Structure 1
Amino acid sequence: MSTLCLVTGANGHLGNTLVRALLARGDKVRAGVRNLDNRASFEGLACELVYAELQDKVAMRKALEGVDVLYQVAAVFRHWARDPNAEIIQPNINGTRLLLEAAAEAGVRRIVYVSSVAAVGHNGQLLDEACWNDEASNPYYLSKILSERMAWKVAQEHDLWMVSVLPSAMIGPNANRLTDTMSFLAAVQGRRVPLDPNFHFNFVDVRDVAEGMIQAAEKGRSGQRYILANRYSSPLAVLIDAANHIGPGHRLPPLAPRWLLLGLAWLQERLARVTGKPAELLVSQVRLFYGVRQEYSIAKAQAELGYCPRPPEQALRAAFGYLAVRGTGGVIALI
């Protein structure tokens, strides 16, 4: 008998990749979306499309009826807003609480909650699942930290079987709309990165994260966190090398000094306040990322889930190849 799964955020990069992986296994899938008219991501997929708005507990309770496994993927993924508490932080926290309460009422057997390495942090050292970030200046980071803590609180109160997975920067296929991470790759590929920001991102193929989530539902231990990342981070030079494997001619731009990036970020934030157009670079991002390697221990996921991600160089080549075929209209985004 196949398992009935609900994937929230099913038209997003990770959500859509997970839907495809579950269907390939023979599972029954409900694809939760906020707009039922937006079906482009589901063409040819034998899944049930359902309305799933995390702030609407009644709708979530209906979507969860009869569900065996909930994959909670949906979240507000923004680093800037005019009112970050109202537009980013509280929606992620409240959405988590309402959804897990609805899951408890529906009798869902297992929950895989998608957090982020943002909730672990990064400081150039090798970090594992025991680490919790205390970052408060970046609203998206803060929302992921507080949302995961809320998830564990509700899971404990309702005695829910739950694991959390903590992906790093996801790249690869099935990006119906380019994420900020994929937009950065598109900018590199389009030679629209004039300076090296000295950011060292930890890239992971989105397909490996989806497979890790499925294994977490089957093999994970309730109450545990699992980092789904790569062991090492990648500077811009590694991205340039990967891009040259798809189309030669890319060169590493000059290194941007930290003071310059801070100044540009400060100006962008002030301009965003006036225009309402999101800033592409924030002061908090420069402080978080400049010169800091994002490196994680994936030993726990490897040992308990059989997690085996593609090396970042391979994942980057695949992502650039996907973008080349897809065609890009991405703008530069340094996150």
Structure 2
Amino acid sequence: MSKLCLVTGANGHLGNTLVRALLAEGYRVRAGVRDTSDTEPFAGLDCQRVYVELLDEAALDRALDGVEVLFQVAAAFRHWSADPEADIITPNVQGTRLVLQAAARAGVERVVYVSSVAAVGHDGSALDETSWNEEVENPYYRSKILSERVAWEAAQALGLWMVSVLPSAMVGPNASRLTDTMGFLESIRQRQVPLAPDFHFNFVDVRDVAQGLIRAAQSGRAGQRYILANERSSSFADLLRAINAVSPGYRQPARAPRWLLMCVAWLQEAQAGLGGRPARLTRSQVRLFQGVRQEYDTGKARRELGFQPRPSDAVLREAFAYLWRRADQ
């Protein structure tokens, strides 16, 4: 029989896409979710839904019973919170430690740990897997850096076979709820971005990342990191070209200087602190992204995993087309 895989965060963007990709390749899949009553992402999928909460050790033990391959996808993905330590950092770091301890107790054969290029960093040069980010201001970035370090410490101490994969900004189909990344594209689609930031994000199709995870489990080398990204980043002008290829009529807004973005972010954070609604732009994001290209050397993943990502312009066109279809449903 095919191997039994557990995918944590299976109703999320990457998790759900990975479930579909694993099923297409004949794997048996156990889909770990926090809300087992949320059946919509799994309509028509022949997988078992199980309760998984990374901070619930008993639930982890039950979910991992008999599992041969663990895909640790679940994580808090947000850049703002009224209490980032409790809502972002602790769940990601402590959840990583507990799920790997449970994997060791269950005798899991292989662990594919999903980190992020946030743990690699970006400085405009083509960074590879040897780079570790030292950024500590942005809570999401800090959580991903600390979580991956904890994962490697735990894997070594527990004798686990583990690889980590580091995706860039994922876009594409199977987003039952929009991530921050997909939400940014949706705000462009809805003409809610009046100023053009000098941001250069590295976009990758979520389906390519899912395939990269499967290949990492099959042919990755234990103890290795693999960047799953495109080799070039995309400017705001690139985003507009992509959406105009899908639905013409979008114009380039005025360029936003750094000082103005910082003012907007400050206001967003102040309003979020009063009303509880997440800030759509934070000062730490402006400091992270303004004027810096996110470029990566993906040669290792291409050589060892056969990673072949769609070109970034095609990735963006397909992502905007998906958002239009989603809006029409």
**Mapping of residues 98-137 of structure 1, within 5 Å:** 98-137=98-137
The residue number in structure 2 matching 1:183 is: 183
**Match in the other structure for 1:74:** 74
- 1:274 Cα shift? 1.6
Letter of the structure 1 residue corresponding to residue 107 of structure 2 = G
The match for 2:41 is: 41
Distance in 1 of aligned mates of 2:301 and 2:120: 15
Deviation at 1:3, TM superposition (A): 1.0
Partners of 2:233 and 2:214 lie apart in 1 by 24
Name 1:155's counterpart in structure 2.
155
Q: When the two structures are superposed, what TM-score results if normalisation uses the length of structure 1?
A: 0.97
Q: Normalization by structure 2: what TM-score?
A: 0.99
Amino acid aligned to 2:189:
Q
Q: Share of identical aligned residues, percent?
A: 65
Q: Which residue of 2 aligns with 1:207?
A: 207
Q: In structure 2, what is the Cα distance between the partners aligned to 1:263 and 1:108?
A: 49
State the AA in 2 paired with 1:265: A
The DSSP-based 3-state class of the residue aligned with 1:327 is helix
Secondary structure (helix, strand or coil) at the match of 2:123 reads: coil
Query: Residues of 1 paired with 2:266 and 2:176: CA distance?
Result: 31
Matched residues in 2 for 1:119 and 1:144: separation? Answer: 6
> What is the letter of the counterpart of residue 286 of structure 1?
V
Superposition deviation, residue 328 in structure 1: 7.4
Asked whether the equivalents of residues 186 and 328 of structure 1 are also in contact (C-alpha less than 8 Å), the reply is no
* SS of residue matched to 2:94: helix
1:92-103 alignment to 2 at 5 Å? 92-103=92-103
Residues 214-241 of structure 1: CA deviation (Å, up to 9, x unaligned): 0000010000000000000000111111
For 1:168, the aligned partner's letter is S
Aligned twin of 1:220:
220
Over 3 Å counting, the alpha-carbon distance change for 1:292 and 1:214 in structure 2 is same
**What corresponds to 1:167 in structure 2?**
167
The Cα shift of 1:252 comes to 1.2
- Cα deviations by residue, 1:179-209 (Å, 9 ceiling, x for unpaired): 1111111111222211101110000000000
Shift of 1:11: 0.2
Q: Is the 8 A contact 1:128 1:297 kept in 2?
A: yes
1:160, distance to aligned residue in structure 2 (A): 0.3
Cα distance in structure 2, aligned partners of 1:276 and 1:180: 16
Q: 1: CA distance between counterparts of 2:79 and 2:178?
A: 15
Q: CA deviation at 1:270?
A: 1.8
- 2:200 is paired with a residue whose SS is coil
The amino acid of 2:8's aligned partner reads T
Query: 5+ unaligned residues in a row in structure 1: which ranges?
Result: 330-335
* Partners of 1:97 and 1:183 in 2: CA distance: 29
1:319 aligns with 2:319: yes
Aligned to 1:221, what secondary structure does the other structure show?
A: coil
Deviates more, 1:281-290 or 1:188-197: 188-197
Instruction: For residue 165 of structure 1, give the secondary structure of its aligned residue in structure 2.
Output: strand
Q: Any gaps of 5 or more consecutive residues in structure 2?
A: none
Count of residue pairs the alignment pairs up? 329
